[in-house]
Amino acid sequence: MKKHLCQYAIVRFLPYLETGEFANVGVVLMCPDTGYFDFRLMTHIRRITAFFEELDAGIYRRARDDFRKELKRIQEFLAQQQENRGFAEAELGRHLFAELTRPREVMMRFDGARAILADDPAQELDALFAHYVERNFATKAEQEKLLEKTVFRVLRDANLNKQYKGQTIGNPASYHTHFPFVNMRDGKPLKALKPLHLAHEDPAKIYDHGWAWMGRVEKLRALKLLPEQVLFPVQGPEEKGERFDIFQEITRKMGNEGVMVVAATQVDKIVEFATVH
């Protein structure tokens, strides 16, 4: 199969020019020799509001929708060129892509054009989006580390981070487990937070990881070593379906075991729980 030389660029959402912080939210790909042009943009908002906690989600939606219209105009223009006479103007494609991706002081911008050889440009676009936006390379442990960083920022911004440290809870001689955020009082764990990633593609992994932590909670409770209050800030599937139903089942069972469960994006609830009176 013939490989096509394609150009692509990652779309970044940068709401605050002052800080330079950004989130990868999409990918555009152009194959100048064939006129292929397409894009993928992140539709869900949870990652944006988790990273930029104080941002109105509507700001991202409006910026994304306006940007999508611009990309659609380019896509429709190129499709019309192909329909009229077949696409034979590679230089036009390169010019359009260079103009689209040039540096601009706007919220939706590009990190710079890159080149890649692709057997199937559409499949390559899906793979690039999965890697750079959906971060499908990240393992469960890496994703939970990202959640822990999110929760740490929440505690820090509420001036609560100094009251919480990582602690191994339990009896070193029998059973113990580690919580990344524990508040101690008189040498005993009063409150503990453990962010959980429960958005696995494989529904069985949602069960396995959820049940594993339920088992730890039950064992610590049986040994009378469980902190008085435990909170699981969780990240679950974003779309309705079997994975979401399993996620809800697991989180309901956690609640029945006396563990508080909130979405990792519910900053107010995390702060309310973590506040020590």
Decide if pLDDT at 86 tops 60.
no
Residue 138 is predicted with a pLDDT of 56
Q: Could you give phi then psi for residue 202, rounded to 5 degrees? A: -85, 115
What's residue 85's pLDDT?
55
What are the residue ranges spanned by the domains of the chain? 4-132, 140-274
Confidence of residue 251 (pLDDT cuts 50, 70, 90): very high
Q: Assign 268 a pLDDT band (cuts: 50, 70, 90).
A: very high
Whether 223 and 262 have beta carbons less than 8 Å apart is answered as no
Q: Which of 190, 193, 254, 250 is nearest to 218 (CA)?
A: 254
Q: What percent of the chain clears pLDDT 70, i.e. is strictly above it?
A: 94
Query: How large is the average pLDDT for residues 224-243?
Result: 89
For residues 198 and 181, what is the distance between their CA atoms, to the nearest angstrom?
A: 19
C-alpha–C-alpha distance, residues 108 and 75, integer Å: 18
Hey, which residues does 170 pair with through a beta bridge?
A: 176
Per-residue confidence band for 83, with pLDDT thresholds at 50, 70 and 90: low
249-263 average pLDDT score: 92
User: What's the average model confidence in pLDDT over 91-111?
Assistant: 86
Tens digit of each residue's pLDDT (9 = 90 or more) over 136-186: 555 566 778 878 888 998 999 899 999 999 999 988 778 899 999 999 988
Pairing of strands 260-263, 229-235: parallel
Q: Tell me, what's the pLDDT at 196?
A: 94
pLDDT, averaged across the chain: 86
Strand partners, 8: 29, 114
SS3 assignment, position 76: helix
Q: Are 250 and 205 in contact (CB under 8 A)?
A: no
- The fold of 140-274 is Trna Endonuclease; Chain: A, domain 1 (3.40.1350)
The H-assigned helical ranges of the chain are: 46-51, 57-85, 90-100, 121-132, 140-157, 203-222, 242-256, 267-274
Residue 22 has pLDDT above 70, yes or no: yes
Say what the pLDDT of residue 88 is: 52
Mean pLDDT of 185-199: 92
Chain centre distance of CA 259: 24
pLDDT at residue 77, as a whole number: 85
pLDDT of residue 137: 53
Instruction: Give me the pLDDT at residue 106, please.
Output: 86
Report pLDDT for 204: 86
Q: Residue 141 has what pLDDT?
A: 64
Determine the average pLDDT of the residues in 94-103.
87
